[in-house]
Structure 1
Amino acid sequence: MVFLAVLFFAALLSWSLTPVAARVGHRLGLVDRPGGRRRHQGVIPRTGGLALFGSFFVTVLLTVLLPHVLPPAWAEWFPPRHDPNEGRRLLALLAGSLFCVVAGFVDDRVEFSSGPQYVIQAVAGVIAIAGLIFIKHVNNPFGQGFLFGPDGFPWWIVWPLTLFWFMAMMNTINWLDGLNGLATGVTAILCLVLAVHMIFAVQPPQLSVALLPLALLGAALGFLPHNFAPARIFMGSSGSYFLGFAVAALGIIGGARLATVMLVLGLPALDVAWLIVSRWRRGLSPGQGGRDHLHFRLLDLGFSERAIVMGYWAFCAFFGLLTLVLDDRLYKLVALLALGALALAVLVWASRTDRQEQRT
């Protein structure tokens, strides 16, 4: 009962806050106008991240406070928290999310270059590590236990690995935010997979932690009707930074579900890697904007925006479903490799087809 309540409350709050965020964007001049790589129609505010963060923050805060103020019979609806460090991780999640949405809001106003953006991502990762959100263990895909034994990674690996994870996820969501509803929908799919995994697929179930992806799922679903084509509002850097940080953190808080996150976000993440290598080879800065993202290539090849977005959603949902039905670690590794091969094939095809179109 409480899971559905959290989901619907976050969705309703996000849906209600989004028009308010749009008015803030118009009033402050934080809007996108057509031109360059932006091919939308009209003047669109880019302050949707405020609604996404606000609904998530308020919903999560209520799940923490209500069990202490409601009558005992009602407080029992909320799952108990057994991990003594869960409160500290929750504080780091909210603090890091607040930092990201504020930094993204400033970025939307002054439009940082790639350097300051990387610094923001690194600081967000440090906030997470300070709150005990770090990658200490990774399951051994070829047997039982963890890589590096029961003690996990040494600290000289934990810090750079965790920082890389946060920066990679924040860049993935940021670069994915190019078509209406694309990043929002993919985030919603990942949150649904994480929540189902925490509630039904692990023993013992992670019921209290499952409230977090459900809150983010509700925030994304409430925002999506305003953000889907034709969009009336964009999430902006405040939204993409926040969603990227939250996705990275939830993948760790949920028991290091890194393979789950990578299976859902495999195509967008591989697109980021592809772009970095491609731009380096052409002598360009990896962090500069451009229409060489896969979703832009597909759009320029004549596919409709809605078809591309729904295709991404279907791709991510299919591999997310695989994480729920595959129990064996080796099978998940095989699925991850298959995802990489399939995504790489799509990238190669789109790149070659795009070059052929340009020559004709």
Structure 2
Amino acid sequence: MREYLLTLCVTAAVTYLLTGPVRKFAIAVGAMPEIRARDVHREPTPRLGGIAMFGGLCAGLLVAAHLTELRKVFELSNEPRALLSGAGLIWLLGVLDDKWGVDALVKLGGQMIAAGVMVLQGLTILWIPVPGMGTVSLTPMQGTLLTVALVVITINAVNFVDGLDGLASGMVCIAAAAFFMYAYRIWFGYGLESAAPATLFAAILMGMCLGFLPHNMHPARIFMGDSGSMLIGLVLAAGAISITGQVDPDAMKLFAGSEREAVHATVPVYIPLLLPLTVIAVPIADLILAIVRRTWRGQSPFAADRGHLHHRLLEIGHSHSRAVWIMYFWSALIAFGAVAFSVSSTSMWIVLAIVALSGVGLVLLLLPRFTPRAPRWAEAFVPPRYRRSTRAAQAAEAAVGARTGVPADGPDISADVSGSTPRIPAGATAIGRRSQLAEPPKAGKLPS
């Protein structure tokens, strides 16, 4: 465990220290695209944060290769080299896209090539556990197709969810933490060395995300861009491929029965990790909804829009930070819930805890709908979150003005019938109130 923590800390430190110089480099080369219609930030922000994350990945692998225990991973397996090769290709493609822009089909082809390079170097799915049938061995062609599909799906799921400051890096960090717990338990709990590469990949991925998060939290000083989102998606997929398709369920000796019984009993453990639907369930759901939504409208599945889950959270009234934390909550609940279920799939307490936390998540999700609003006379006595926002008041004024023909920014300051005090319309701005409460001009004198 100490060597894993050291690798994680080195990866995080290198990523953190490189992000500052990378930001200056991105500004110097002009990797600051204009604000697009779907963006939520209000000023151009440099990209290319994936350069720092790739540096952290290389540093983590270099340190691990010189540690006493983790050195065996490089000696007994070619998977770390396969990961570095695929990561280098996908990172280079992302850098080109962040600077000059790359067509969606070209990016898809590059993702498939990167996955194919990893397959050629041994990082592939060899078999899958199927309930009722036992362990099913795959032909080289089947293993290649399944591996490439898993890599492409995971990369695009992470890329699609990268829409708010700190969202993608935080969610992937949560997924990597849950994945590390699962892989570490298989290696040291059951003595299976074939789970060692996946454990190392998860520790390095956590370091990459933790090192980049301080620069990427709202308000972000730099974005990871496609060079970062596709990179961390590939690393996450590589870990899932390594542990799902190369760890034999029967070798775990979890049960004394036949292989078929062992596989059937371990389905809650392996099927979620086959296509990491629980580890990155929220990004996968966002990906599926985006494809269905765009196809239904007659658009390309790769056409960008503002219909993602995080955009919808902003539309219903959540702040930027609260929307990010809600996505964190659901990702952690699903990922760690799957890990807990894999440890004890018969415990009713785990199910009840997941159900209770899901209820809490639904309340947080719908909180803007339930937030009470205090009357105007009581606004001075309640916290700001219970007051009517200035934007909402201005919107109401604009709506009233549109119906009555009176402009919202032109308050009526004529004197009332009694004489001296001007009428102040409801909802007037602070500047308008001060100007209206000023002393009216005296009779017979014109205002200067």
Scaled by the length of structure 2, what TM-score is found? 0.67
**Quick one: which amino acid aligns to residue 167 of structure 2?**
L
Query: Where does residue 239 of structure 1 map in the other structure?
Result: 228
Query: Where does residue 264 of structure 1 map in the other structure?
Result: 279
Query: Where does residue 385 of structure 2 map in the other structure?
Result: none
Query: Where does residue 171 of structure 2 map in the other structure?
Result: 186
| Residues 1:208 and 1:115: Cα distance change in structure 2 (over 3 Å) | closer
Shift of 1:329: 9.8
Contact map agreement 1:194 1:254 (CA 8 A) in 2: no
Report the 3-state secondary structure (helix = DSSP H, G, I; strand = E; otherwise coil) of the residue aligned with 1:290.
coil
Contact map agreement 2:197 2:239 (CA 8 A) in 1: no
Matches within 5 A, 1:1-360: 1-64=2-65, 66-67=66-67, 75=68, 78-79=69-70, 81=72, 86=77, 88-140=78-130, 142=131, 145-146=134-135, 148=136, 152-201=137-186, 202-204=189-191, 206-207=195-196, 209-256=198-245, 259-260=272-273, 261-327=276-342
Contact map agreement 2:147 2:241 (CA 8 A) in 1: no
Contact map agreement 2:48 2:227 (CA 8 A) in 1: yes
**Quick one: which amino acid aligns to residue 50 of structure 1?**
I
**Quick one: which amino acid aligns to residue 237 of structure 1?**
D
Query: Where does residue 256 of structure 2 map in the other structure?
Result: none
Shift of 1:258: 6.1
Higher relative contact order (CA 8 A, sep 6+): 1
Query: Where does residue 419 of structure 2 map in the other structure?
Result: none
Shift of 1:254: 2.8
Shift of 1:110: 1.9
Return the index of the structure with the highest Cα Rg.
2
Percent identical pairs in the alignment equals 26
Report the 3-state secondary structure (helix = DSSP H, G, I; strand = E; otherwise coil) of the residue aligned with 1:185.
helix
| Residues 1:263 and 1:27: Cα distance change in structure 2 (over 3 Å) | same
Shift of 1:83: 8.4
Report the 3-state secondary structure (helix = DSSP H, G, I; strand = E; otherwise coil) of the residue aligned with 1:12.
helix
Contact map agreement 2:50 2:224 (CA 8 A) in 1: yes
Scaled by the length of structure 1, what TM-score is found? 0.83
Report the 3-state secondary structure (helix = DSSP H, G, I; strand = E; otherwise coil) of the residue aligned with 2:219.
coil
Gaps of 5+ in 1: 68-74, 354-359
Q: CA RMSD in A?
A: 2.8
Shift of 1:282: 1.2
Gaps of 5+ in 2: 246-269, 370-398, 400-448
Shift of 1:168: 0.5
**Quick one: which amino acid aligns to residue 51 of structure 1?**
A
Contact map agreement 2:35 2:42 (CA 8 A) in 1: yes
Query: Where does residue 356 of structure 1 map in the other structure?
Result: none
| Residues 1:18 and 1:160: Cα distance change in structure 2 (over 3 Å) | same
**Quick one: which amino acid aligns to residue 235 of structure 1?**
M
Deviation string, structure 1 residues 283-328 (Cα, Å, up to 9, x no partner) = 1100111111111122122211211211111111112112222237
Query: Where does residue 70 of structure 1 map in the other structure?
Result: none
Contact map agreement 2:91 2:230 (CA 8 A) in 1: yes
Contact map agreement 1:226 1:232 (CA 8 A) in 2: yes
Cα distance in 2, alignment partners of residues 198 and 237 from structure 1: 27
| Residues 1:84 and 1:96: Cα distance change in structure 2 (over 3 Å) | same
Report the 3-state secondary structure (helix = DSSP H, G, I; strand = E; otherwise coil) of the residue aligned with 2:240.
helix
Contact map agreement 1:80 1:208 (CA 8 A) in 2: no
